[in-house]
Amino acid sequence: MGKKILVLGGQGSGKSTQAKMLAASLGLPHIAMGQLFREKSKGEGTEAGEIREALEAGNLVPDQVVTKILNERINKNDCKNGFVLDGYPRNYAQLEGLPRDITHAFFIKVPDNIAIKRLIERGRHDDSLDVITRRFEVFHTDTEPLLTYFRQGKILEEIDGLGTIEEVHQDIIARLQNEPNK
């Protein structure tokens, strides 16, 4: 059976970098919800407008839009043997849209002050301090409680995100290789 992996973490935790590296190591597609949203937000129509509005304010994209975009992507042929999903789910409502057969959830832990420093250094145009602060509030309120759900499902691995990019990657790979066959 293919691996269906979630990589979770707050803004600036390095989750996208790790998800990308993990996908490359495993030969699976990397599905970055943030990137999909940024691409869709450039389009026309109500959906693009809703996405644009949410991104600019640092809020979550409406759940029904997120679920639709995710399902369009994971139903493509390249995902039939698994995928690495980055930046989803962000709240309990989005759990509904999550495939039931997720095999692993990695949570990359980084203290907020370190993550904020990383984001400011990254300097993306949508990374103003107000927006960053708002995203952290949303993360702690909406996303962190999901960790309990994945912990209860016995698929959650907490990863220390303070090492080098390579150290964090090796930690994730080691945990994938050390698991008993399910």
Residue 59 maps to a domain? no
Any domain includes 86: yes
**Whole-model pTM?**
0.88
User: How many domains does the chain divide into?
Assistant: 1
- pLDDT at residue 180 tops 80: no
What's 18's domain CATH number? 3.40.50.300
Other beta carbons within 10 Å of 83:
25
Task: Give me the mean pLDDT over the 109-128 stretch.
Answer: 87
Q: What is the pLDDT of residue 34?
A: 86
Residues 51-91 pLDDT 10s: 999 988 878 888 899 999 999 999 999 999 999 999 899 88
Q: Is residue 113 part of a domain?
A: yes
Tell me the average pLDDT of the chain: 91
Residue 50 domain-assigned?
no
Tokens (6 digits) for 95:
């759990």
User: What DSSP designation does 135 have?
Assistant: H
Give yes or no for residue 181 having a pLDDT over 60.
Answer: no
Q: How far apart are CA 53 and CA 173, in angstroms?
A: 37
Q: What is the pLDDT confidence band of residue 182, given thresholds at 50, 70 and 90?
A: very low
Q: How many helices (H) and strands (E) in the chain?
A: 9, 5
**Host domain of residue 130:** 3-32+80-177
- pLDDT tens for residues 27-53? 999 999 989 999 999 999 999 999 999
Assigned domain for 15 exists: yes
